[in-house]
Every structure is written in C-alpha cells, then in structure tokens.
Amino acid sequence: MSRSYMVILGLMILTIVSCGPGADDEKIEFRVPVSVQEVAAGDVEDHIRATGSLRAREVVSLAVESKGMLHIARGPDGRRLAEGDRVTAGQVVAEIKGEDVRVAARTAATRRRFLAAESDYEATRELFEQGLINESELRRAETTLEDARLEFDRSRLAEDRNRLVTPIAGVLLSLGRDLEGRPMADGQLVTPGLVLAQVAQTHVLVADVDVVGIDVARVHENLSVRVLQHSFDGTAFDGRVVRLAPAIDPITRALRVEVEVDNGDGLLRPGMFVEVEVLVERREGVPVVPREAVTERAGKRVVFVLRGQRVARREVELGLGDDETVEVQKGVEIGERVVVRGLETLADESRVRVSGRS
C-alpha cells in the first residue's frame, strides 16, 4: 500500500506543476504568410479601347458599259484572273466581246481620217504662211481636222468601253459574279450596269470604331494606335487616328473614328473584326506595382510595405495603368517591397512571414 500511495502522490505533484502559472505566461505568436514584390520602374500607358471592322481605304468598281459576251483577262502566267489576285494600274481585268471587231475597224478608219486631216492642215498652213491661199481656206482645214479628231476620240472611247481597266493597283476583291453573287463563265452574256470587278488597295486598311462618353474629348487625329485581331495572338499592328466624324451619331451617341492600319505583310483582310487601343498618354520609368498590391482601407487606397518582420500601411496616389500594373505617383519608392498576396487581413504593423515572391 505504501508503494501505490507514493506513485499516486508523484502523479499529483506532476499535474500541479504542469498546470502552474508558467504555462499561461507563454504566448504563441502568429505571423501572416504573405508574398511580396519590389516596386519597379516601368512604362505605363493610358488607352481608349474600342472595337470595329476593317475595310479598304478605297475601292474601285468596274462596271459593264456595253452589252456582249464576258471574257476575263489572263495574268502574266496565262492563268485567268481570280479574286485575291494583285493587279497593276492600267491593267485590263476583263473584256466584253461581240461588237469588238466592228468597233476596232471603226477606230482604225477614224484614225486614218484624223491623220489625213492633220496632214492636210499642215500643208494648208504652209501655203497660207507663203501667201498662196487666203485665211478662209486655212480655217476650213482647221475645222476638218477638229471634226476628224472628235470622231477618232469617240471611236477610241467606244473601244475602251469594251475593256475594263483598273485605274489603281491593288487586290481583286470581286470578279466575274452576277447579281446574285454566282461566278460567271467566259462567254456569258452581260448587260450594261453590272459591276463586274472591284479593286482595292490593301497595304493600308481602315478600322471604323465608335468612341463614347468622356473618351470623345480625349481622342484626336494622329494618335498612335495598336490593332489586335484574335486570329494572330500576340501580334499587334501599328496604326494611327486619321479622321474624326464631324458629328455624333444621334442614335448611338458615339463618335465614329477612322484608324489607318499598316498591313504591309498582308495578314489582315477587309471585313475582319478587330480590337483597337488608342494610345492617349505614355509615361516611362515611373514606379509601378501590381494591381493586386493595392487595396482599400476606410475608403482610401493603400499598399502594405514590408519593414523587417512587419508591414507598414501606406496611402497611395495612383496614375496610369492597365489591368495588371499601375503607376504609383505618391506613397512608395522604387526598390521597396509591397505585399501582393495575403493582404486581406493585414493591418498597420502586422507581423508577417514572407512565404514567396511574385
């Protein structure tokens, strides 16, 4: 019994010691795990973002003027021209056959009459200068020459009506289609008024975009532009604002803005849907932080700056930025470290444990 009593007494002593005042005095310190990032010098921009569609800067339509049979011209390689082919200024795109033989014969005849009248006039003028004939004969020769020239010009115009010639260099947007958009074969009958071909310059395209609200007062001509198209991820095409509409659309209350886009590589095509970023302002080498580093406390924008094992709350004034980074005009300096993750429960002078850097 004495041995059992001693064991029980020892256990009671240990229990009393473990529950003594020393255990309550030890406090567990909690540190908030955070990730930090240095305030860096960066470039920031202010953009106006809009969307729109691409179109050619100018389009030439070639229409049939004389009834006849269609004949699409051939290219240098002997292949029939097709939509998407490039043509040069003055190149024949198509001809209307039928009366071309008779028209050509008439042109040749009127040319011969014109040359003969021109020769007669020169001879008559020499005789007049020598005093061998009077002025009335010279005037008759002059009138005959002008009549012959007029007939010759009319014949050439009639001949040209059978040939569709593009006045500009560019790309064939459409060629040889009927009123319902179906392709036409050589030899098919065409009538006057049918638009047989459209030629456009595509090395520079135009994006028509609408600007609304306060951005109307911020946009002006010659601003630089970046154009994005989802088919070409990561590729930005350079452009500039070239024209503003003279009036606001009464229905949409938007301002139509024309943006010229460099398409020297030929990747973009008329009709494509694009996103446009109009560069209003750019600042270089300014302090920037991630957007996620900025939070609100009591209605004020603040960041938490790392100071040893604690953080200091700083009120900040923000400048330009985008969805990822923002300029800090006042409140932090380049090289300081700010909390970017774990700041939800932070307060001024909170103890933290840095668990990573972004």
| Cβ-based neighbours of 134, under 8 Å, separated by 6 or more | 128
- What phi and psi values does residue 285 have, to the nearest 5 degrees? 70, 30
CA distance 356 to 346: 17
Q: Which two tokens stand for residue 229?
A: 């198209």
Name the superfamily (CATH) of residues 48-56+202-283: Efflux pump adaptor protein, beta barrel domain (2.40.30.170)
Domain with CATH 2.40.420.20 in the chain: 32-43+284-357
pLDDT tens track of the chain, all 358 residues?
455 545 444 445 445 444 545 444 455 567 889 899 999 998 888 889 999 999 999 899 999 887 888 999 998 888 999 999 999 999 999 988 876 545 555 677 888 888 888 888 898 888 888 888 888 888 888 899 888 888 777 766 666 677 899 999 999 999 999 988 999 999 898 888 999 999 999 999 999 999 998 999 999 999 999 999 988 887 899 999 999 999 999 999 999 999 999 998 889 999 999 999 999 988 899 999 999 999 999 889 999 999 999 999 999 999 988 888 899 999 999 999 999 998 888 889 989 888 866 5
- Residue for token digits 């109009």? 278
Tell me which architecture the domain covering 100-160 has in CATH.
Orthogonal Bundle (1.10)
Query: What residue has token string 């958009």?
Result: 181
Both tokens assigned to 182: 């179906």
In CATH, what is the architecture of 61-97+162-198? Answer: Beta Barrel (2.40)
> Are the C-beta atoms of 172 and 61 separated by less than 8 Å?
no
What's the rounded Cα separation, in Å, for the pair 116 and 60?
38
Give CA–CA dist 54/205, Å, rounded.
6
Q: Which residues of the chain form CATH 2.40.30.170?
A: 48-56+202-283
> What is the rounded CA–CA span in Å between residue 241 and residue 222?
5
Which amino acid is residue 212, in one-letter code?
V
What is the C-alpha separation between 310 and 32, in angstroms, rounded? 10
What topology does CATH give the domain 32-43+284-357?
A: 2.40.420
What is the C-alpha separation between 281 and 260, in angstroms, rounded?
19
